[in-house]
Structure 1
């Protein structure tokens, strides 16, 4: 057994801090290196989906000189939302501790105090930044099972992602990035490493509920829940004075989801970016959304 507590990147709006994490009874994930064999990658991915969370355990959160007590849910997941005095924008540390059967388990995490810049980016990950083949089951499983952060590839023309974001923000790159993905927390360590290796802007991840079985590996990243809608709604409420650029792809339902937020928050969506996947044909519904966004005065940019 390898008991472990993990703290994910948290976020602050300058008044409150929101932190999340997991406590595990079994977590034997290790850092992978370039040149690892396909078998090693497969073994590591299997471990990701055989994590054993610790439910209903008390976790201590040390933040800004104060200690807060939280408890994990049935999937070993916890949240902590507390008041915070004004702090300059940037990344800050926090600490976690829980008492396991083998003694104290400690870990450090980071949280991001958002900038005063009025615009932030909400971006999907799979097939928007990371080649994932989310709509092609066999290719998706092959990538998940046999590749790692060193061998997975960003989208071919990722410079277009940067350029369009800058264009939509008056030719200035935003500082605040929130990555809302249908990938599960099982893949957090992989995504963190992938972003670092490919110099993708550091940000806060919002992933889906942890999975606990190998049968879930094939379904990893699939649409079918309200995770994206709920998270984006929360971000709009948590940052009531920010405008957002919404970024996704046309492989799943990103455009439909973003269309809803454009209708609801027309004055706060600065633009929408959609990556066109070559195997997905443009349909009548996409044309309709294009026209409606145009009527709302919200720019819609496509990239490859």
Structure 2
């Protein structure tokens, strides 16, 4: 029996195994503004569990959604109750208390259903934030090898936040964005990773030292999300947050095309587009007026020259000896 067949057999066996009793709530970290915040998540009828990365990942994907769950959501003294839809998803927009605003910075939101609860960080973004950075995840921040099916399966199912490899230097690049160290950019991760992997993605970002306060917006897997799933999310973010925008992705799938479309739809908003070379770079027209880079140091140096990053930070994060031969654009 070859490796793909053995893996398929394992997936089938694990997905059909009984789950632990009790539901689970997935509450996504989000970005908000002082005048309101939109919280979203999913309720699972069964708590995913497992003793290995494979069993945990498969059961995350195979867990039954809880339709019709009454979800109590609260944030800084404001609360609401919503009902999960047929996919177990819920979403609610909370305004600040009458006559007030939500304070800028990171705060905790809560979501509860009978038998389970969850918390997630909400980053209230200041109007003075220098940038909104919209980032992909797979093959931009984490090594997923999406263009290689066998390796994609390995990275998706056999690895977790502790064992999936990070793209070297990207945490340093993100940490240096913003021309003033006192004004921190807002970061939004818009990814094709499934919503069930939200906790894994959050743990990965923290483990590898990415800036705190990422809003995380993942894909609801299904026939309707096979393509064009990023654009609505990015449009919503750019409509809600009027800040200058930096887009970061990779060349392995459709990030260059998606970002070019967003740049055209929001003229004057996108300050730079950075695309990590993850293959499929033969057609140079895909990267028109974008920065195609192999090493994060090259993107960081470009951002410094463009006034989007702090030169002292970049020099510290990427010593000159490590930047030699990076193919700086």
Band of TM-score, shorter chain: 0.7 to 0.9
Query: Whole-Å Cα distance in 2 between the matches of residues 235 and 95 of structure 1?
Result: 22
Residue 134 (structure 1) aligned to one of 136, 146, 151: 146
Within a 5 Å distance, the mapping from 1:35-50 to structure 2 comes to: 40-50=52-62
Q: Offset of 1:246 from its aligned partner?
A: 0.4
> Within the alignment, does 1:234 sit opposite 2:231 as a pair?
no
Query: Whole-Å Cα distance in 2 between the matches of residues 97 and 110 of structure 1?
Result: 15
> Within the alignment, does 1:257 sit opposite 2:247 as a pair?
no
Query: Whole-Å Cα distance in 2 between the matches of residues 157 and 184 of structure 1?
Result: 25
Q: Offset of 1:119 from its aligned partner?
A: 1.2
Residue 120 (structure 2) aligned to one of 109, 113, 122: 109
Within a 5 Å distance, the mapping from 1:97-176 to structure 2 comes to: 97-99=112-114, 104-115=115-126, 116-158=128-170, 161-162=173-174, 166=177, 169-170=178-179, 174-176=184-186
Q: Offset of 1:259 from its aligned partner?
A: 0.7
> Within the alignment, does 1:2 sit opposite 2:22 as a pair?
yes
Query: Which residue of structure 2 aligns with residue 60 of structure 1?
Result: 72
User: Counting strand residues as a fraction of each chain, which structure ranks higher?
Assistant: 1
Tell me, yes or no, if the aligned pair for 2:174 and 2:210 is still in contact at 8 Å.
no
Query: Whole-Å Cα distance in 1 between the matches of residues 281 and 30 of structure 2?
Result: 37
Query: Whole-Å Cα distance in 1 between the matches of residues 184 and 268 of structure 2?
Result: 18
Q: Check 1:157–1:113 CA distance in 2 against 1; reply closer, same or farther (3 A cut).
A: closer
Within a 5 Å distance, the mapping from 1:16-55 to structure 2 comes to: 16-29=36-49, 40-55=52-67
Q: Offset of 1:186 from its aligned partner?
A: 1.5
Tell me, yes or no, if the aligned pair for 1:23 and 1:77 is still in contact at 8 Å.
yes
Query: Whole-Å Cα distance in 2 between the matches of residues 93 and 284 of structure 1?
Result: 44
Query: Whole-Å Cα distance in 2 between the matches of residues 174 and 208 of structure 1?
Result: 27
Query: Whole-Å Cα distance in 1 between the matches of residues 39 and 65 of structure 2?
Result: 18
Unaligned runs of 5+ residues in structure 2 are 1-20, 295-329
Query: Which residue of structure 2 aligns with residue 12 of structure 1?
Result: 32
Give CA deviations for 1:181-216 in whole Å, capped at 9, x if unaligned. Answer: 0111121121111111101122010001157xxxx9
Tell me, yes or no, if the aligned pair for 2:174 and 2:211 is still in contact at 8 Å.
no
Q: Check 1:58–1:149 CA distance in 2 against 1; reply closer, same or farther (3 A cut).
A: same
Q: Offset of 1:170 from its aligned partner?
A: 4.2
TM-score of the pair, normalised by structure 1 = 0.81
Tell me, yes or no, if the aligned pair for 2:54 and 2:157 is still in contact at 8 Å.
yes
Give CA deviations for 1:5-54 in whole Å, capped at 9, x if unaligned. Answer: 23221321211111011111101337x8xxxxxxx221112111111110
> Within the alignment, does 1:302 sit opposite 2:296 as a pair?
no
Tell me, yes or no, if the aligned pair for 2:105 and 2:124 is still in contact at 8 Å.
yes
Query: Whole-Å Cα distance in 1 between the matches of residues 234 and 265 of structure 2?
Result: 12
Query: Which residue of structure 1 aligns with residue 187 of structure 2?
Result: 177
User: What is the RMSD of the two structures over their aligned residues, measured on CA atoms?
Assistant: 2.3
Query: Which residue of structure 2 aligns with residue 86 of structure 1?
Result: 101
Q: Check 1:243–1:71 CA distance in 2 against 1; reply closer, same or farther (3 A cut).
A: same
Report the 3-state secondary structure (helix = DSSP H, G, I; strand = E; otherwise coil) of the residue aligned with 1:152: coil
Report the 3-state secondary structure (helix = DSSP H, G, I; strand = E; otherwise coil) of the residue aligned with 1:2: coil
Unaligned runs of 5+ residues in structure 1 are 33-39, 217-222, 294-299
Q: Offset of 1:86 from its aligned partner?
A: 1.8
Within a 5 Å distance, the mapping from 1:155-234 to structure 2 comes to: 155-158=167-170, 161-162=173-174, 166=177, 169-170=178-179, 174-202=184-212, 203-209=214-220, 224-234=226-236
